[in-house]
């Protein structure tokens, strides 16, 4: 597992360096205080990470489970496309101003869960007459089948779509940070404030930070995918 994580993370190092370089160049061109801009962007990243990571983990895990179990999961997957994270964030901010952290998490986790549900449900339906039938033919029954085979299948499928889920969640996190009053002050807020002020250096640095975050999370997701599904370990 560790070597898999290392391999995946090492594979994205050039991309991360490229992002850092681009941010540095733009910040330097924009004004003299470019080191501070980069520093501020980096310092703001952990707050965003703390928002994005649990939401993604929760959403993907629960979504996959719901997807392979069918029923309520199907409904979630069905309405999923209608509720992008930024829209949920706005709705929550306007209606339930309390508990912004929890609501922010929910706004991010729900779309991720919906996507995972759809993918997992599709994977389960596709496996019904192949892998699952074969296992039943060998005498595997209900709960063992669900936990040992159907859930890993669903999780694997959900992890396969993690790249777009990561991008969507990071995007939505920017909206959450900006709509939830003073709840968060991460890279998303930094980015929007800099953009509003027309501060190119800071805005680009923050955006590069967010992109780097997405790349890194994507790499971790791929490692986790490989850990769950040996088929995804290659390459």
Please report, as ranges, the residues that interact with other proteins according to CB under 8 A.
15, 78-79, 81-84, 86-87, 89-91, 93-95, 97, 129-131, 133-140, 148-149, 152-153, 163-164, 166-168, 170-171, 174-175, 178-179, 191-192, 194-198, 200, 203-204, 207, 210-211, 214-215, 218, 228-231
Nearest 5°: phi and psi at 186? -110, -165
- With respect to other proteins, which residue has the nearer C-beta, 2 or 129? 129
User: What is the Cα–Cα distance from 232 to 222, expressed in whole angstroms?
Assistant: 8
Q: How many CB atoms lie within 10 A of CB 174?
A: 23
- With respect to other proteins, which residue has the nearer C-beta, 175 or 223? 175
* Nearest approach, Cβ of residue 42 and other proteins (Å): 17
- With respect to other proteins, which residue has the nearer C-beta, 105 or 194? 194
- With respect to other proteins, which residue has the nearer C-beta, 57 or 192? 192
> Is 188:173 a contact under the CB 8 Å cutoff?
yes
- With respect to other proteins, which residue has the nearer C-beta, 46 or 81? 81
* Nearest approach, Cβ of residue 75 and other proteins (Å): 13
Residue 160 burial class via C-beta count within 10 angstroms: exposed 0-12, middle 13-18, buried 19 and up: middle
Cα–Cα nearest to 5, from 229, 231, 230, 216: 216
Characterize 73-93 residue by residue with b for buried, 16 or more Cβ atoms within 10 angstroms of its Cβ, and e for exposed.
beebbeebeeebbbebbeebb
* Nearest approach, Cβ of residue 8 and other proteins (Å): 13
User: What is the Cα–Cα distance from 156 to 135, expressed in whole angstroms?
Assistant: 18
Q: What is the distance in angstroms between the CA of the first residue and the CA of the last residue of the chain?
A: 15
* Nearest approach, Cβ of residue 218 and other proteins (Å): 5
* Nearest approach, Cβ of residue 39 and other proteins (Å): 20
- With respect to other proteins, which residue has the nearer C-beta, 20 or 228? 228
* Nearest approach, Cβ of residue 43 and other proteins (Å): 19
User: What is the Cα–Cα distance from 51 to 72, expressed in whole angstroms?
Assistant: 26
Place of tokens 């890993």: 152
């Amino acid at each position: 597992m560790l070597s898999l994580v290392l391999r995946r993370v090492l594979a994205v190092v050039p991309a991360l360096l490229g992002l850092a370089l681009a941010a540095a160049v733009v910040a330097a061109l924009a004004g003299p205080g470019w080191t501070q801009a980069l520093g501020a962007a980096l310092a703001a990243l952990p707050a965003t990470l703390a928002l994005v990571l649990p939401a993604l983990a929760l959403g993907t895990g629960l979504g996959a489970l719901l997807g392979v179990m069918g029923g309520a999961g199907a409904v979630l997957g069905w309405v999923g496309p209608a509720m992008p994270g930024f829209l949920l964030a706005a709705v929550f901010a306007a209606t339930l101003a309390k508990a912004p952290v929890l609501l922010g998490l929910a706004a991010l986790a729900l779309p991720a869960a919906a996507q995972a549900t759809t993918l997992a449900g599709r994977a389960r339906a596709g496996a019904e007459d192949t892998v699952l039938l074969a296992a039943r033919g060998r005498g595997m029954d209900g709960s063992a089948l669900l936990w040992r085979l159907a859930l890993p299948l669903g999780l694997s499928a959900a992890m396969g779509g993690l790249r777009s889920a990561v991008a969507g969640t990071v995007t939505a996190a920017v909206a959450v940070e900006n709509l939830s009053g003073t709840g968060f002050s991460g890279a998303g807020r930094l980015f929007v404030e800099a953009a509003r002020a027309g501060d190119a250096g800071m805005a680009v640095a923050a955006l590069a930070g967010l992109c780097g975050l997405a790349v890194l999370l994507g790499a971790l997701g791929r490692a986790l995918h490989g850990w769950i599904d040996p088929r995804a370990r290659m390459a």
